[in-house]
Amino acid sequence: MEERSQGLARGLTNYGDRDFSVYLRNSFASSMGYSREVLKKPIVGIANSFSGFNNCHRHFPEMLEAVKRGVLLGGGLPVEFPTISLGEVFLNPTSLKFRNLMSMDTEEMIRAQPMDAVVLMGGCDKTVPAQLMGAVSADLPAVQIVAGPMMTSRYGGERLGACTDCRRFWGKYRAGEISTEEINTVESRLATTAGTCAVMGTASTMACVAETLGMSLPGTAAIPAVHADRLRAAEATGLAAARMFERPIRPSQIVTERSVENAIRVLLALGGSTNAIIHLTAIAGRLGIPVSLKRLNEISEETPVLVNLKPVGANYMEDFFHAGGVGAVLRELRPLLHLDCMTVTGETLGDRLETDPGPVDRNVIASAEEPLEPKGGLVALFGNLAPRGAILKRSAADKRLFEKEARAVVFTSLEDLAARIDDPDLDVTEDDVMVLQNAGPKSSAGMPEAGYLPIPKKLSAKGVKDMVRISDARMSGTAFGTIVLHVAPEAAVGGPLALVRTGDRIRLSVEEGTLDLLVEEEELERRRAAFTSPVVPAAERRGYDRLYAEQVLQADEGCDFAIMKPVGA
Ligand code: FES
């Protein structure tokens, strides 16, 4: 029997007789109509996260055909395989809980099935990080292609795009500024095409992060989902994956300490999603590369915000695409970047930046000389309330609230929040700091995007638009507000956040990067001694829920599973 270590002969099913394994596999593969010639080709697997429960991926069947065309052009055999898909708004309790499951699915199916390279088709918030986590762990040559953003829509004279405008209109509705009829009309116009959310939310940020890391082809992150260029990008991605047969470049050669630092820089210049810090930490963590929040602050101090997109600015992803996309941002940041980082094309980042950028729309992408903000969009806070850190998206917050000492109004869970937030008798003023406990990764809520606590109705009705809000939860990348997130360690494991009581004083200083609970240590010690976790113990749970409860790490470690770190790390 012919000896081959590529294509269908890779990773044989073990029957204790290699030749029999090859013979049987060829026989079964032939049943799919492949000729013997085709079965000798190297294989590009295509991890397809299409799902009827994922609106953002609804155009994947068409993109898949284009990826396959590219693989065939490159002389390979394209073989699609399904993986778990994570449609952001279709998952309970929250999509983050299943990101690690998708990453394990992706990793194991890349490793277990016979392929020489893989194309990762993802897009919606958690899918790209899950695929990158899986791919770097499997360490087979891999190229990411993203879904691309939705197009915007219209309501009267206004442009609408998911999902900053979803929240804006919901806020107006809660404040009684628009009617039920109007919110129903808006509801049907917010998301009108295939693709990911139309602003610089988590999906768009992760698409830009993937391109900056070098895991996707240059210029592909921002192409709208329904643009013909997206299909050309899909074809080119298939071709690029097939080209790796001759010159394999492994994810571990691309995702390095230096490329991760480049990605953090771009994230900050984008005014990107807070979630991206968690995801990037998890991706890098799979290779034993630490992402330090202290280092994030250092980079943030020297990285300007350049991109004028919602929720930080005024525009949408389709504008970013036409304005020059990630390439234009990278060129502005060039003196700050590590240009020797390898990419999936075999070129370095520096090589990429040699090509002509084309025109850049400065209304959307500012120059480094005249940035939107002189410092990066995210800042990590530390103090006795967040010993391992917390995150604030300062570019999407009200600067008047940045230096504040105020009374805490505490909600002990999401259920408590839902029950009391709109109570007319709730003891709260606009000068208070609202605190949400037990919404972190180990909580039963699974760290949902609930950190964007709604402004109590009695205050929103008076026109209050923003308040300081603190929690161990996450926030949608599309949201705006002075919202401190990812407090670590979280309340459910007895972190200091669990010790806050209504009436305590809290001090926030964005200038100093601090977050402190102004309560005597003796009193805190008393509260600590009385702490009991509200979380159902792992031993009383089963299946994936149990694995999650036992393994999930805190936000500063990317909420990955402890067992997914490299052996020995
Ligand atoms: Fe999929 Fe926003 S819901 S990216």
Which of the 8 DSSP states describes residue 356?
-
Q: What is the pLDDT of residues 156-193, one digit of tens each?
A: 999 999 988 998 899 899 889 999 999 999 999 999 99
CB within 8 Å of 341: residues ≥ 6 apart: 214, 254, 256, 258, 259, 262, 348, 349
Contact between 290 and 556 under an 8 Å Cβ cutoff? The reply is: no
**pLDDT of res. 568:** 84
Cβ of 88 closer than 6 Å to ligand 1, yes or no, is yes
Cβ of 449 closer than 6 Å to ligand 1, yes or no, is no
**469 pLDDT exceeds 80?**
yes
> What does the pLDDT average to over 318-339?
98
Nearest alpha carbon to residue 311 among 272, 280, 285, 350: 272
Task: Estimate the crossing angle of helix 257-270 against helix 293-301, to 10 degrees.
Answer: 60
- Percentage of the residues of the chain whose pLDDT score is greater than 90: 94
Q: What is the pLDDT of residues 482-518, one digit of tens each?
A: 999 999 999 999 999 999 999 999 999 999 999 999 9
Of the candidate ranges 7-11, 355-359, 431-435, the one whose mean pLDDT is the lowest = 355-359
Measured from the Cα of 196, ligand 1's closest atom is 4
H helices within 175-222, ranges in order? Answer: 180-187, 202-213
d(CA 330, CA 350): 10
DSSP 473-505: S---TT--SSEEE--SS-GGGT-GGGG--TT-E
Which of 125, 199, 204 most suits a substitution to test ligand 1, by most atoms within 8 Å of the C-beta?
A: 125
d(CA 118, CA 108): 13
**46 pLDDT exceeds 50?**
yes
User: Predicted confidence band at 443 (pLDDT cuts at 50, 70, 90)?
Assistant: very high
Q: Please state the φ and ψ torsions of residue 155, each to the nearest 5 degrees.
A: -140, 110
Measured from the Cα of 54, ligand 1's closest atom is 1
CA of 391 to the centre of ligand 1 (A): 22
**476 pLDDT exceeds 90?**
no
Residue that the structure tokens 């869970």 belong to: 413
Q: Please state the φ and ψ torsions of residue 403, each to the nearest 5 degrees.
A: -120, 105
User: Predicted confidence band at 478 (pLDDT cuts at 50, 70, 90)?
Assistant: confident
Structure tokens at 116: 């020489």
State whether residue 541 is helix, strand or coil. Answer: coil
The residue type found at 165 is D
> What does the pLDDT average to over 538-553?
97
Cβ of 196 closer than 6 Å to ligand 1, yes or no, is yes
Residue 178 burial (CB count, 10 A): 16
d(CA 412, CA 436): 6
> What does the pLDDT average to over 242-270?
97
Which of the 8 DSSP states describes residue 109?
H
User: Predicted confidence band at 1 (pLDDT cuts at 50, 70, 90)?
Assistant: very low
> What does the pLDDT average to over 38-63?
98
State whether residue 508 is helix, strand or coil. Answer: strand
Ligand 1 atom 2 nearest Cα:
197
Q: Count each helix (H run) and each strand (E run) in the chain, helices first.
A: 20, 14
Q: What is the pLDDT of residues 352-367, one digit of tens each?
A: 999 887 899 999 999 9
Pairing mode, if any, of strands 468-471 and 153-155? Answer: unpaired
CA of 39 to the centre of ligand 1 (A): 37
Task: Estimate the crossing angle of helix 127-138 against helix 202-213, to 10 degrees.
Answer: 30
CB within 8 Å of 76: residues ≥ 6 apart: 41, 42, 43, 44, 116, 117, 241, 242, 245
> What does the pLDDT average to over 259-280?
97
d(CA 238, CA 222): 18
Pairing mode, if any, of strands 514-517 and 505-509? Answer: antiparallel
DSSP bridge partners of 508: 404, 515
Torsion 258-260-261-265 (CA) sign: positive
User: Predicted confidence band at 127 (pLDDT cuts at 50, 70, 90)?
Assistant: very high
pTM greater than 0.95 (yes/no): yes
User: Predicted confidence band at 3 (pLDDT cuts at 50, 70, 90)?
Assistant: very low
Pairing mode, if any, of strands 403-411 and 386-393? Answer: unpaired
- Backbone Cα Rg of the chain: 24
**pLDDT of res. 4:** 55
**pLDDT of res. 2:** 44
